Amino acid sequence: NDPHGWIGLRFQLQPGGPPNDILLHINMRDLSNVLQQEAIGILGVNLIYAAFHQLATKESFFAGLAEDVVKKRIEIDYVDCRGPAFANWDRPTLLAYLVSAGLAEAVFFSSAGTSVPPTEVLRKKALVLAPGYFGHVDRGHGQIHTQMLAAGVQELRQELGQATSTPMGIFSMSAAPPEPGEPAPEIPDLLRRIEALLAQGGNVLLFRERELYTMTALVNRYTDAPVRFVAGLSLLIRAFNDPYFNLEGRRLEGLSRLFAQNVRIYCYPMLMADLQEVMKSVSRTGVEWSEKNGWVSAEQLRFAPPLGHLYAYLLASNFLVPMQSHAVPTG
């Protein structure tokens, strides 16, 4: 059971003035109906007060809205505002703000231009997620990102059989700092990268956290169908080298959460020259690779023991699925 719903308010800033509407989609985190009712009541009071006294900026409005209830008891993962009171607010910025401010675990951006809550997109769907930083927004890199995601969708469709419906492919980004200790991305930078992916016809999930296992946890709230990540080797190396200091079980706990409930990673090969260039900025120890015809696949990565034994187990158990170089764009 994943209780969720809608809450909204129509109000006037002066008698006889034009109406203003705000609509929120919320996920309730309390476990009992009574506590959920209480949390919604608090949110409703906050919403009325914020609409009349805290509309100067989106920061002040959502700070008032979140007081005493949001983050711990209620998650807001969609907002729609209409009317002159919100004339300077735009929906993409508001959605990104929900994540960066910690009010939502993830929000969804649609290439069709009609954003909806994540639950309406993910529910009961077989999914392929392509996580990444997507810092390059030029057309050439955009085509590579799009073709990588398409290759992952095709791989899952072959795995499930042609009789099933086509899996949904989504780009996944994080609003968290790329590395611990670094500043979090600014909202304009997030939107710049998101808009580049949308322009290529892709849909985007913006997550609050950067770890892949947090993405697994969120999508598994909405679907028990197969979930696959399609990831380049540089991201795979980062995932294995992350010490996961925020978890009691460290790396083993992080990987067990990542591969929960029918999750696998499609390992996308890279040109050796590209991998070498990317790895200049990655802190790594005990990682080597070989190449074949200029390409490096997951089977050609080698981690020093004892991590190498775990990597070999995940390959042999099909949790890591190497993709062949013929699926990689050569243009």
Q: Which of 54-58, 60-64, 126-130, 176-180 has the lowest mean pLDDT?
A: 176-180
Averaged confidence pLDDT in the chain: 90
Q: Please state the rounded mean pLDDT for residues 274-278.
A: 84
Per-residue pLDDT, 222: 92
Q: Please state the rounded mean pLDDT for residues 75-79.
A: 96
Q: Please state the rounded mean pLDDT for residues 125-151.
A: 89
In whole angstroms, give the CA distance from residue 104 to residue 6: 15
Is the pLDDT at 1 greater than 70? The verdict is no
Amino acid at position 232, single letter: G
Per-residue pLDDT, 287: 87
Q: Which of 138-142, 173-177, 280-284 has the lowest mean pLDDT?
A: 280-284
Q: Please state the rounded mean pLDDT for residues 181-207.
A: 94
Q: Please state the rounded mean pLDDT for residues 296-300.
A: 93
Burial class (CB in 10 A: 0-12, 13-18, 19+), 91: middle
- With cut-offs at 50, 70 and 90, classify the pLDDT of residue 285: low
Is the pLDDT at 171 greater than 60? The verdict is yes
Pick 275 or 96 by higher pLDDT: 96
The residue written with tokens 């243009």 in the block is 331
Cα angle for residues 261, 262, 268 (degrees, 5° grid) = 130
Is the pLDDT at 64 greater than 50? The verdict is yes
Pick 306 or 283 by higher pLDDT: 306
Per-residue pLDDT, 23: 96
Is the pLDDT at 244 greater than 90? The verdict is no
Is the pLDDT at 76 greater than 80? The verdict is yes
Do the strands 20-28 and 4-11 form a parallel or antiparallel pair, or are they unpaired? Answer: antiparallel
- The model's pLDDT over 108-122, given as tens digits with 9 standing for 90+, comes to 999 988 789 999 999
Q: Do 249 and 261 touch, CB atoms closer than 8 A? A: no
Please list the residues that pair with 241 across neighbouring strands: none
Is the pLDDT at 295 greater than 70? The verdict is yes
In whole angstroms, give the CA distance from residue 279 to residue 292: 18
How many percent of the chain have pLDDT more than 90? 67
Q: Token pair for residue 214?
A: 């947090």
Pick 127 or 244 by higher pLDDT: 127
Pick 36 or 260 by higher pLDDT: 36
Is the preceding peptide bond at 84 cis, omega within 30 degrees of 0?
Answer: no
Is the pLDDT at 304 greater than 80? The verdict is yes
